[in-house]
């Protein structure tokens, strides 16, 4: 069953600055940001999660968000998060910052990256004092996350979603049926063979126990 979990590998192609070349659609970018919301917030004064808050990230020096502990890979980068730098990073984080702990594989389509960047800019524009409207973020506030809803309640649910949804469809994950040792073996294989970042021991145990409890060998596959 390992082939089901093969990670998508993206080419290390660097694109020139796209500003003005492609129409930006921040509303579409808001929907795409749902892939990021498991690890990031993007509202003003939003909390850091697995990743730092991204409000005002455009123009900010790399790895300088106060209070967040960055990996050595990010700390080694120089410069600021220009739109071009973000475009390259979002294409393939592991290529742009080798050794990064960020598990997200990237956004392959140039339009997707352009729209996400446009939405991040809009968050700052909407928060300016002369605009009375509040900068909403349905991607972060929505309780009815379709993928998260596929996971039954229990200890380890959020950790499993945060770790798996960055690279996999949750529908793919919940169709499996394995005991704890098999889940641990699969995670180890993904780290060794697929380039997935190693999980902390406690987190690895928590996720494998959750998956074995709710998606063990005796559990029917995902309901039709």
How high is the pLDDT of residue 114?
93
Q: Which residues contact 113 (CB under 8 A, 6 or more apart)?
A: 18, 86, 87, 90, 91, 107
Find the helix or strand (DSSP H, E) in which 87 lies: helix 83-91
DSSP at 142:
-
With tokens 């529908």, the residue in question is: 171
Task: Please give the full DSSP string across 35-60, using - where no structure is assigned.
Answer: GTTTT---STTPPP-SS---TT-TTS
Q: Which domains does the chain have, with CATH numbers?
A: 8-141 (1.10.760.10), 146-214 (1.10.760)
What is the overall mean pLDDT for the chain?
78
Tell me the pLDDT tens digit for each residue of 107-124: 999 999 999 999 999 888
Using alpha carbons, select from 167, 6, 202 the residue that is nearest to residue 93. Answer: 167
Q: Coil, strand or helix: which one is 61?
A: strand
Radius of gyration of the chain (CA): 18
- CA torsion through residues 15, 16, 21, 26, sign: positive
**pLDDT tens-digit series, residues 137-179:** 554 444 336 777 888 888 888 888 887 776 666 777 777 788 8
Q: Is the pLDDT of residue 220 over 70?
A: no
Q: Which two tokens stand for residue 50?
A: 């697995």
14: nearest Cα among 74, 82, 87? 87
- Please give the backbone phi and psi of residue 61, each rounded to the nearest 5 degrees, phi first: -60, 140
- Per-residue pLDDT band for 194 (boundaries 50, 70, 90) equals low
- Contact present, 40 and 120 (Cβ < 8 Å): no
pLDDT-derived band at 131 (thresholds 50, 70, 90) equals very low
């Amino acid at each position: 069953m390992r082939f089901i979990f093969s990670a998508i590998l993206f080419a290390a192609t660097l694109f020139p600055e796209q500003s003005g070349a492609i129409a930006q659609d921040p509303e579409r970018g808001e929907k795409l940001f749902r892939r990021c919301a498991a690890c990031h917030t993007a509202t003003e004064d939003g909390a850091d999660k697995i990743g730092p808050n991204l409000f005002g990230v455009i123009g900010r020096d790399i790895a300088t968000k106060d209070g967040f502990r960055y990996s050595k890979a990010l700390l080694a980068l120089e410069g600021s998060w220009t739109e071009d730098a973000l475009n390259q990073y979002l294409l393939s984080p592991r290529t742009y910052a080798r050794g990064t702990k960020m598990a997200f594989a990237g956004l392959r389509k140039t339009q997707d990256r352009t729209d996400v960047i446009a939405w991040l800019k809009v968050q700052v524009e909407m928060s300016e004092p002369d605009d009375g409207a509040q900068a909403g973020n349905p991607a972060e506030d929505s309780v009815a996350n379709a993928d998260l809803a596929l996971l039954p309640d229990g200890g380890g649910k959020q950790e499993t979603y945060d770790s798996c949804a960055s690279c996999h469809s949750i529908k793919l994950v919940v169709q499996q049926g394995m005991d704890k040792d098999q889940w641990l073996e699969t995670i180890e294989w993904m780290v060794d063979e697929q380039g997935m970042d190693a999980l902390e021991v406690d987190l690895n145990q928590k996720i494998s126990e959750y998956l074995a409890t709710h998606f063990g060998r005796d559990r029917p596959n995902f309901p039709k």
